[in-house]
């Protein structure tokens, strides 16, 4: 997990100052680091962009950085969405460790940041984390001292020789910023709830599942822990709506049932948006979701054909109709350019997804993200090149 063998506190006996940063902006502009269309938004980037003026606009904080900061004893600053100049000013404050979070698409930005740190503050240790570390040779691409391939809290605690057994403290942060439609700000907000990371389903293309070694890493492992955390967040942030940042929240059925008991005992109701795989929804039943307070669900439909175990034998049309009959909003996600797709069969999947009548539809492209089984298969079959060859090139 740790690239270097120096798994020791960076400064023995002294207070270690840590900075955690996301990659710098501007985002969604045509420059040497990105493209105009690739805005830093979930819905406008990949779900409702084609709705133009009517597109749902919002931003999300970098949850992982706040989670790590909340759980370190060392004084830790988080710099979220900085400009490069803002990042440079912060680097000037003599941090012992600077952690950079990045995804593969932002490799060039992480590289520029790390190179700057090396130049002006050579004693600072650089830690890389986030999904970009799926690149097997990341330490050859970006100057760094440590690479965290997976869960960051345990990694940082080990690095700083802090107590690994300390329970995880949940950060109190809102999940969305700048929510608006047609330029008009939307009232109300939601908080983020992070029950755990990863998914055991290990779909061949899935970057998240592979990033967490195809395991589920629970932070809130019982229904009571979930309930208590929601109650604290409700009080601190004055919200009763939550975006549940867990790839497959209902997969842990025992925890979900315990949580339901807590809700009944305390006569409470929270509104929650969740991600869930189709087979999980079928296993627990739609009424269970209604009783839990789920009012938005994101389901990976992927394809009409049963390529992935999670959709085998699931009547998605019936489940989606039932979810919507209770007022639960459904986002159905499909994959284009699957291996069986031809000019004709690709429309089989497009029409299938539209016919499911979800509230929102998203089409993703099948792509071999480093770290996934799909990437390894393609590499072995000579269908793609090793990551060192695909550093982002400047646009013409």
Which range touches ligand SF4 (CB under 6 A), out of 86-94, 204-212, 265-273, 347-355? 204-212
Residues within window 133-192 making contact with ligand B12, judged by CB under 6 A = 134, 148, 151-153, 155-156
Which DSSP state fits 389? G
CA dist 195 → 152, 224, 246, 277, 318 (Å): 15, 12, 6, 16, 28
Q: In terms of DSSP H, where are the helices of 78-151?
A: 84-91, 107-120, 138-141
Using CB under 6 A, pick the residue from 47, 64, 141, 333 that binds ligand B12: 64
Report the nearest approach of ligand SF4 to the CB of residue 24 (Å): 28
203 binds ligand SF4 (CB under 6 A): yes
Q: Which is nearer to ligand B12, 111 or 131 (CB)?
A: 131
Containing 258, the helix (H) or strand (E) segment is helix 253-266
Q: Which is nearer to ligand B12, 28 or 218 (CB)?
A: 28
Number of C-beta neighbours around residue 126 at 10 A: 21
Pick from ligand SF4, ligand B12, none: which does 60 bind, CB < 5 to 8 A by kind?
ligand B12
Binding mask 365-394 for ligand B12 (x = CB under 6 A): ----x-------------------------
Query: DSSP secondary structure string, 323-337?
Result: HHHTT-EEEEEEEES
Residues within window 221-250 making contact with ligand SF4, judged by CB under 6 A = 247-248
Pick from ligand SF4, ligand B12, none: which does 201 bind, CB < 5 to 8 A by kind?
ligand SF4
Using CB under 6 A, pick the residue from 45, 121, 189, 208 that binds ligand SF4: 208
Q: Which is nearer to ligand B12, 196 or 293 (CB)?
A: 196
202 binds ligand SF4 (CB under 6 A): yes
Query: Tokens standing for 320?
Result: 């989606």
Are the C-beta atoms of 198 and 208 separated by less than 8 Å? yes
Using CB under 6 A, pick the residue from 62, 71, 209, 229 that binds ligand SF4: 209
Number of C-beta neighbours around residue 182 at 10 A: 9
Which DSSP state fits 83? B
Handedness of CA 207, 34, 360, 259 (dihedral sign): positive
Number of residue whose CB is nearest ligand B12: 129
Are the C-beta atoms of 200 and 214 separated by less than 8 Å? yes
372 binds ligand SF4 (CB under 6 A): no
277 binds ligand B12 (CB under 6 A): no
45 binds ligand B12 (CB under 6 A): yes
Are the C-beta atoms of 174 and 66 separated by less than 8 Å? no
CA pair distance 220, 118, nearest whole angstrom: 38
Report the nearest approach of ligand SF4 to the CB of residue 366 (Å): 12
Report the nearest approach of ligand SF4 to the CB of residue 95 (Å): 34
Q: Which is nearer to ligand SF4, 144 or 203 (CB)?
A: 203
Containing 290, the helix (H) or strand (E) segment is helix 286-292
- Tell me which residue has tokens 């189709």: 278
Using CB under 6 A, pick the residue from 1, 2, 42, 336 that binds ligand B12: 42
Q: Which is nearer to ligand SF4, 321 or 364 (CB)?
A: 364
Report the nearest approach of ligand SF4 to the CB of residue 252 (Å): 13
Are the C-beta atoms of 135 and 197 separated by less than 8 Å? no
CA pair distance 166, 156, nearest whole angstrom: 13
Report the nearest approach of ligand B12 to the CB of residue 300 (Å): 10
Pairing assessment for the beta strands 56-59 and 76-79 based on DSSP bridges:
unpaired
Which DSSP state fits 40? S
Query: Tokens standing for 146?
Result: 């440590």
Binding mask 303-342 for ligand SF4 (x = CB under 6 A): -------x--------------------------------
CA pair distance 239, 377, nearest whole angstrom: 45
Binding mask 100-129 for ligand B12 (x = CB under 6 A): xx-xxxx--------------------x-x
Are the C-beta atoms of 205 and 338 separated by less than 8 Å? no
What is the binding site for ligand SF4 (CB under 6 A)?
199, 201-203, 206, 208-209, 247-248, 277, 300, 310
């Amino acid at each position: 997990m740790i690239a270097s063998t120096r798994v020791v506190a960076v400064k023995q006996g002294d207070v270690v100052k840590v900075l955690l940063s996301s990659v710098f902006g501007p985002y969604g502009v045509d420059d040497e680091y990105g493209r105009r269309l690739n805005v830093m938004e979930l819905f406008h980037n990949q779900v409702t962009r084609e709705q133009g003026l009517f597109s749902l606009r919002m931003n999300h904080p970098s949850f992982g950085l706040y989670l790590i900061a909340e759980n370190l004893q060392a004084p830790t600053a988080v710099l979220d969405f900085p400009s490069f100049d803002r990042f440079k000013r912060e680097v000037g404050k003599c941090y012992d460790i600077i952690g950079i979070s990045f995804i593969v698409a932002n490799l060039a930005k992480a590289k520029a940041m790390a190179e700057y740190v090396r130049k002006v503050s050579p004693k600072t240790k650089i830690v890389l984390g986030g999904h970009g570390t799926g690149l097997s040779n990341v330490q050859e691409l970006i100057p760094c001292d440590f690479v965290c391939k997976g869960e960051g809290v345990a990694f940082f605690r080990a690095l700083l020789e802090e107590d690994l057994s300390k329970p995880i403290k949940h950060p109190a942060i809102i999940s969305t910023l700048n929510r608006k439609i047609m330029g008009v700000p939307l009232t109300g907000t939601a908080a983020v709830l992070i029950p755990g990371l990863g998914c055991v389903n290990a779909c061949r293309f899935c970057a998240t599942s592979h990033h967490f070694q195809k395991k589920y890493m629970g932070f809130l492992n019982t229904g009571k822990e979930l309930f208590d955390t929601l109650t604290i967040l409700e009080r601190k942030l004055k919200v009763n709506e939550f975006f549940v940042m867990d790839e497959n929240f209902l997969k842990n059925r025992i925890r979900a049932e315990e949580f339901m008991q807590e809700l009944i005992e305390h006569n409470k109701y929270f509104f929650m948006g969740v991600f869930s795989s189709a087979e999980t929804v079928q296993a627990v039943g739609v009424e269970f979701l209604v009783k839990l307070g789920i009012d938005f669900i994101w389901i990976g439909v992927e394809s009409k054909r049963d390529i992935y175990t999670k959709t085998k034998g699931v009547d998605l049309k019936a489940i989606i109709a039932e979810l919507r009959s209770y007022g639960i909003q459904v986002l159905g996600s499909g994959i284009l350019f699957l291996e069986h797709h031809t000019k004709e069969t690709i429309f089989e999947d497009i029409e299938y997804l539209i016919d499911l009548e979800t509230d929102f539809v998203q089409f993703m492209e099948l792509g071999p993200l480093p770290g996934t089984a799909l990437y390894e298969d393609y590499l072995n079959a000579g269908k793609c090149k090793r990551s060192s060859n695909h550093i982002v090139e400047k646009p013409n």
